Amino acid sequence: MNYLIASYAVVLGSILLYKAYVAREKATLKRSLAGFKTASPQESKAG
């Protein structure tokens, strides 16, 4: 029984961890792109 629970726990845990990692990467990149797009018009005005 313990081995069975361990199998399913490892699969579920790994998938959730990977999902969290990908979601964090996506959020970071979206923030970076949004920040760049906000900064660009100001830079062009200053330039």
Point out which residues bind other proteins (CB under 8 A).
1, 3-4, 6-8, 10-11, 14-15, 18-19, 22-23, 25-26, 29-30, 32-33, 36-37, 40
Instruction: Enumerate long-range contacts of 14-17, CB under 8 Å, 24 or more apart.
Output: none
**Cβ 3 to other proteins, closest distance in Å?**
4
**Cβ 29 to other proteins, closest distance in Å?**
4
User: For the chain, what percentages of helix, strand and coil (3-state, to nearest 5) are there?
Assistant: 95, 0, 5
Question: Whose CA is closest to 31, among 23, 41, 19?
Answer: 23
**Cβ 35 to other proteins, closest distance in Å?**
10
